[in-house]
Structure formats: structure tokens, C-alpha cells
Amino acid sequence: MQNSIQNVEDLEVYQKLFKLALDVHELTMSYSKFELYELGSQSRRASNAAPALLAEGFGNKHTNIYSEKISQSLGEIKETKHHLRMACKKNYFNQAVLDDFIKRYDECLRMLHGLDKSLRDKHRK
């Protein structure tokens, strides 16, 4: 199956992160005018950075560079989750919406950890 991965768009984790970035964008556009340019902007930037970093590192001939981009993507996911928790506490959406986003992001975290492990294992061979 891995042989069928020719582009970053072929990675399931990239597809999920891309969709999440679009969903976060849509969600944050309903924030108050002030928060649209504060917390909303930070949320949109971090959520978009996660798949963008994965795309930046994909296929790099230096495994350590790709691994570093995966690590940075993990950090952006954690930042996005923080921003979403903050927005929920500020009552921009309810707990059920937050729980859905957290669940989806946690799945991506696990997938990225697995991708990084497989890269490192392959590099050691």
C-alpha cells in the first residue's frame, strides 16, 4: 500500500489534517469581530500549518528533515487544540463540538507518530 503513495495528498493523515483546517476555518468565521482577528486568526494559522508542514517535508531525501517537519506538525496540532479549548471556554461553541475536534486531532497525532516511527525504522535499515 505504501508504494501507492506518490504525493503528500495520498497520505490519509494529510487528507484528515487538510479537512480539519477547512473545518476550523469555517468554525472560527463565526467568532465575534474582535476574536475573528485574534483567537480565530491564531486557530486558522495553526490548523493550516499542520498539513502545510507535512507537505513541506514530504519526500525530502533527508529523513531527518521530513521527521522534523512531522514534529513541527505535531506542535501545530497541539497549538490548535489549545486555541479550540480556549474558544470553547469563551462560549464560541459547545463542548460536543470541541470533543469532536479533539478526537479528530488526536487521531492525526497518532497517525503522525506512526509515520515518524516508520520513517525512522526505514532509515535505520
pLDDT digits (tens, 9 = 90+) for 2-23: 457 889 999 999 999 999 999 9
Residue 72 lies in a domain: yes
Residues 6+ apart with CB under 8 A from 24: 43, 44, 47, 80, 84, 101
Residue 20 lies in a domain: yes
Whole domain around residue 100: which residue ranges?
9-124
Q: What is the pLDDT of residues 35-73, one digit of tens each?
A: 989 999 999 999 999 999 999 999 888 889 999 999 999
Cα–Cα distance for residue pair 71/53, rounded to 1 Å: 9
> What is the DSSP secondary-structure string of 32-44?
-HHHHHTHHHHHH
Give the number of domains in the chain: 1
Residue 102 lies in a domain: yes
Residues 6+ apart with CB under 8 A from 111: 12, 13, 16
Residue 37 lies in a domain: yes
Residue 2 lies in a domain: no
For the whole prediction, is pTM greater than 0.95?
Answer: no
Residue 1 lies in a domain: no
Neighbours of 11 (CB within 10 A): 20
What CATH code is carried by the domain that includes residue 90? 1.20.1440.60
Burial class of residue 87 (count of CB atoms within 10 Å of its CB; 0-12, 13-18, 19+): buried
Residue predicted with more confidence, 40 or 121: 40
Residue 24 lies in a domain: yes
Residue 88 lies in a domain: yes
